[in-house]
Amino acid sequence: MRFFKTSVLLLLMSSLLLLAPSSCKMAGGGDAVTPNVPNTLVSSTLIGQFTTDQLRSRFTGTNVAFQLFIRYPISVYRITYTTTNTDGKSITASGALLIPTVNAGTSVPMLSIQHGTITSDDGAPSNYQSGSEAYTFGSVFASQGYIIAAPDYIGYGASKNVPHTYEHRSGLATASLDMLRAARQVLTSQNANWDKRLMIAGYSEGGYATLALQKKIEEETGSEFNLVASSCGAGAYDKPAFMKQILNNTTSTDPSISRLYLWVLLTYDRIYNLNRPATYYFKEPYATRIAASGYTANLGGLSFNQVVTDSFKQAINNGTDTDFLKAVQDNDIHDWKPRTNTRLYHGDADDTVLFLNSQNAYDAMRARGATNVQLIRLSGANHATGILGYITGTYDFFNSLQ
């Protein structure tokens, strides 16, 4: 759920790319589908076409190793498309589409990357700003031979003037799915060399968004997409169990972590029209601070369970706050049977998104007979250090399907 600086991600990516043979990117053909679905594309604007020399020039100093992995020129587009906001109304959203210029006769898969938590619109993929994930390692992925679809989500890019649907199952999945539909329209219009296979991946909020997207694709879209693999890292999949854990137990006192839990609570209060005063949820002086500043409020370096009221905790624990419990349950995605090959990566020392989320999801899915789901326990890894194991493991996973 935390946003990590690009420099850290670049160092991690330099390690993982060493593990990626070119055969991973040269895709076999998938069955084409002609889905009968509404067109979502509003516009497609070319941001730029970048030669391999231009791409290599982005990486200097400690990141110079990236130059070795630039293979194809790429074209980058800003896509706007229609989707549905949490109020049921149509809204224009956006994302980035990165298309490699591959050799004649070569077709490649599409990889939908759901980004982790960002707190500024500068990090939105469609802005493609220097230093952003899409501009740096997203471009390396594309240059290696992946078509990259990167949704902004609602609340960033074209929809930056409305609140972000933070950790909201339907909001994230719907925006990501409609981005894929818009990307497909662009690829079709340009006769791009897409082999019709789709892979999806994401870490932290992106991990949750990826599993939510997978569930939506599998349960609602029939044969519209040829989804072949899903790699989810450190997502908060078991919302009810995770919520009770952070309400009743001391967790991290890092203010940046507590604010994430606060952000989720405020998002659910808004989206489900609970509209309660801050004093219902929070003790003073934190209630006043939160009412004024939202999820950016200063929580004084306390564990999240120390700022919530005893009455709210009691109402959750004894089940009397049915409205809030229903909201949390509506965002639970841990207990279902995936059809797609799925891996759940998670550090067992994660103090931001607790490991129980992936363990509970794995146990529930296996109990339903999902033998195609694997849990990859990253021993000793926390939310930050788990990224390396997730990325390298994801590449190994995708390579194994070739």
For residue 314, the enclosing domain spans 239-330
Match 């849990």 to its residue by tokens.
375
- Residue 48 maps to a domain: yes
Residues 223 and 116 occupy one common structural domain: yes
Residues 163 and 263 occupy one common structural domain: no
Residue 36 pLDDT: 66
- Beta-strand pair 226-233/194-203: parallel
Element containing residue 185 per DSSP (H, E): helix 169-189
Closest among 179, 167, 98 to 133, alpha carbons compared: 98
Two tokens, residue 159: 């929809």
Dihedrals phi, psi of 309, to nearest 5 degrees: -75, 150
Residues 86 and 154 occupy one common structural domain: yes
Residue 65 pLDDT: 83
Residue 210, domain CATH: 3.40.50.1820
Residues 157 and 267 occupy one common structural domain: no
Residue 138 pLDDT: 82
Residues 57 and 73 occupy one common structural domain: yes
Two tokens, residue 84: 């549905």
Residues 208 and 344 occupy one common structural domain: yes
Count of residues making up the chain: 402
Residues 323 and 353 occupy one common structural domain: no
Residues 65 and 117 occupy one common structural domain: yes
Q: Write the CB contacts of 111 (distance below 8 Å, at least 6 apart in sequence).
A: 141, 146, 147, 148, 149, 198, 199, 200, 201
- Residue 88 maps to a domain: yes
Residues 200 and 316 occupy one common structural domain: no
Indicate the residue among 310, 330, 350 that finishes a domain: 330
Two tokens, residue 302: 């306390």
Residue 402 pLDDT: 63
Domains contained in the chain, number = 2
Residues 168 and 301 occupy one common structural domain: no
Dihedrals phi, psi of 96, to nearest 5 degrees: -110, 145
Tens digits of residue pLDDT in 224-274: 999 999 999 999 999 999 999 999 999 999 999 999 999 999 999 999 999
pTM for this predicted structure: 0.91
- Residue 163 maps to a domain: yes
Tens digits of residue pLDDT in 297-329: 999 999 999 999 999 999 999 999 999 999 999
pLDDT in tens, the chain (402 residues): 443 333 334 444 433 433 333 333 333 334 444 446 779 999 999 999 999 999 999 989 988 988 888 999 999 999 999 999 999 999 999 999 999 999 888 999 999 999 999 999 999 999 999 878 788 878 988 998 999 999 999 999 999 999 999 999 999 999 999 999 999 999 999 999 999 999 999 999 999 999 999 999 999 999 999 999 999 999 999 999 999 999 999 999 999 999 999 999 999 999 999 999 999 999 999 999 999 999 999 999 999 999 999 999 999 999 999 999 999 999 999 999 999 999 999 999 999 999 999 999 999 999 999 999 999 999 999 999 999 899 889 878 987 876
Closest among 52, 156, 55 to 96, alpha carbons compared: 156
Residue 7 pLDDT: 39
Cα–Cα distance measured from residue 256 to residue 389, given in angstroms and rounded to the nearest whole number: 23
Residues 102 and 53 occupy one common structural domain: yes
Residues 342 and 361 occupy one common structural domain: yes
Instruction: Using the CB atoms, write b or e for 212-223: b if 16+ within 10 Å.
Output: bbbbbbbeebee
Closest among 36, 27, 39, 32 to 196, alpha carbons compared: 32
Q: Which residues pair with 262 in a beta bridge?
A: none
Q: Write the CB contacts of 271 (distance below 8 Å, at least 6 apart in sequence).
A: 86, 165, 168, 171, 327
Instruction: Using the CB atoms, write b or e for 345-362: b if 16+ within 10 Å.
Output: bbbbebebbbbbbbbbbb
Indicate the residue among 330, 346, 362 that finishes a domain: 330
